[in-house]
Amino acid sequence: MPNYRQPGTTVTTVDNPRIINIAGDTMIPAIVGLGPMKRYVVDEAVTRGAGSTDNLSAYPATTVATTQIANTPGIAVGSAAAVDIALNGALYANNVAASGSTGTTGIMTWKQGTVPVDIPATGSTYYVTYNYDVPSTQFDPTILSDKTSILSKYGSENTASGSLTIAGSIVLENGSPAVMLVQASGSSYTEAIYKTAIDKLQKKKNIESIICIFPSGSVTATSQQSLITYAFTHVVTMDNAGRGRGLIDGSPSPYSAADGFDTIGDTSTSGTYCYRANAINDRRRMYVVPSRVRRKDAAGNYMELDGNYAGCSIAGLKGAQSLRSTPLTGMIVTGIIIEDEKWNEYEMNQLGASGATVLESRSGVITIRDCITTDATSADTEEESVESVRRLVKRTLTTGLDNAYKGKGVVITSTTVLDVITTVGSILQSLVNSREIKKYGQVDNPITGEVAISAIQNAQEPRQVDITCSINPLYPMKWLSVTCSTFVG
């Protein structure tokens, strides 16, 4: 049986083998991690209805558990249960004068007691403190653009159930207009629930980078690496489907995992930065060091995090970019704390040579020393900004050609092929005009690798038009080579 393919555009980008290494939509980060399995509501204001029941905002939940009902907000839990409500701050009585109770669905039921005035009057306000299991929608990918919304859905920052709040906050603090958060459906880490969460991202188009975060102290480096390997298969699949996205990850330190590490090492010694970065070796992946990252919670206490949270800071900067061609090297990251002057220049060069993106802190200011991928084959594969542009070109060509020809009732003629060439030229010129690429190929030059745009109807598959083109990316300026001589005058 012949293989069926959906009508549309497939774009493949090819590296320039002549370059050697001598030394659309708003795209946002997507973060996968654990979140709260219960929501806690304190002093929800409820207006008394005319009947015997009122609905809480959680209705129709299935697991509501009420801990307090009061006529005044701010009452300490555990105060006397049977007090006349005429007294300021009194709790409503329970089976003494009047009783208020909630069923598991979130319906507030009042029963008259021996003192009729103890039931709130119709139209009056009382306050309920309760908790309930999060709904199934809690585990859907959610785009949020402010800290208040993140806190409302995922709770306060903490290293157990509040890791998504930490990560999402770091992304926004580094300038990204929004972040996509995906909560795994469990109270503790298992690889299965994380895989399910990652799979939910397959339908999402506007993802620039994926980061997986883990609860501190309970997930080993080995387990993290296993899950991240699965996340990378997702990245490869999406890249092949025209929805290119990168993967940013780090490692746990000894402070956050039993087998965590914080050692430079070398490419042959496992459990070290250099070994890990060298083993990854792919242009679609960034490996961020160091592994020990800290941040203060709302109470001012330090939280021990890992290198994946350092990746969130870079993802936030990437989300803030107006141009993908702009390199991130030298940019300041915020929202995290790392050791000041942790490594010397030689050590940071060693890390960079292995493919690690190094964060360095001087006087408390953290910058990206060199924003690179883990593939040092050439400038095309190593420079993160060039890789981001590669994904941008694929997305732009796919979208532009689909919009022009997919589902338009077009038949292939010699004129159609010429129209396709013109369309591709217009799309690539728009990227030149916006300073995302330097130029696109207009002649065939075997010396430089430049290839002019061409299109031809496929001889074996007459319903397909094969297009060839080339681009010249904007490379970041990383080195200045100066030769200066002296003269006598």
pLDDT tens profile 200-210: 999 998 999 99
Structure pTM?
Answer: 0.85
Confidence (pLDDT) at 389? 94
Last residue of a domain, one of 99, 133, 167: 133
The Cα 12–Cα 5 span in angstroms is 16
The last residue of a domain, from among 87, 107, 133: 133
Is residue 5 in a domain? no
Task: State pLDDT tens for residues 400-425.
Answer: 999 999 999 999 998 999 999 999 99
pLDDT digits (tens, 9 = 90+) for 211-222: 999 998 889 999
Residues 363, 400, single domain; the answer is no
Shared-domain flag, residues 360 and 392: no
For residue 91, list its beta bridge partners: 70
Q: Does residue 258 sit within a domain?
A: yes
Torsion angles phi and psi, residue 107, rounded to 5: -95, 125
* Together in a domain, 56 and 151: no
Task: State the pLDDT confidence band at 91, using cuts at 50, 70 and 90.
Answer: very low
Q: How far is CA 230 from the centre of its chain?
A: 16
Q: Find the domain containing 417 and state its range.
A: 387-473
Q: pLDDT tier at 67 (50, 70, 90 boundaries)? A: confident
Q: Grade residue 114 by pLDDT with cuts at 50, 70 and 90.
A: low
Residues 124 and 168 grouped into a single domain: no
pLDDT, position 13:
67
Say if residue 167 is in the same domain as residue 196: yes
In a domain, 73, yes or no: yes
User: Which long-range contacts does 412-418 make (Cβ < 8 Å, 24+ apart)?
Assistant: 412/457, 412/462, 412/463, 412/465, 416/465, 417/455, 417/456, 417/457, 417/465, 418/455
Of the pLDDT bands very low, low, confident and very high (cuts 50, 70, 90), residue 84 is very low
Whether 42 maps to a domain, the answer reads yes
- Determine, yes or no, domain membership for 10: no
Question: Given pLDDT bands bounded at 50, 70 and 90, which one contains residue 287?
Answer: very high
Residue 426: predicted pLDDT: 95
The better pLDDT of the pair 448, 7 is held by 448
Task: Write the Ramachandran bin of 51: left for phi over 0, alpha for psi from -120 to 50, otherwise beta.
Answer: beta
> What is the spatial distance between Cα 355 and Cα 357, in angstroms, rounded to a whole number?
7
What is the residue whose two structure tokens read 């993106």? 357
Please, is 156 exposed, middle or buried when counting C-beta atoms within 10 Å of its C-beta (0-12, 13-18, 19+)?
A: middle
CATH number assigned to the domain comprising residue 235: 3.40.50.11780
The verdict on residue 485 lying in a domain is no
Split into its structural domains, the chain has a count of: 3
Are residues 221 and 354 located together in one domain of the fold?
Answer: yes
Among candidate residues 91, 116, 133, the one where a domain is terminated: 133
Q: Are residues 205 and 282 in the same domain?
A: yes
pLDDT tens digits, 424-442 = 999 999 999 999 999 999 9
Give the residue among 76, 66, 25 at the shortest CA–CA distance from 46.
66
Looking at residue 297, its pLDDT comes to 93
The token duo for 38 is 């219960």
* Residues 306-321 pLDDT 10s: 999 999 999 999 999 9
* Residue 438 within any structural domain of the chain: yes
| Same domain, residue pair 254 and 365 | yes
Tell me if 66 is assigned to some domain: yes
pLDDT over threshold 50, residue 227: yes
74 and 210 inside one domain: no
CA distance 117 to 128: 19
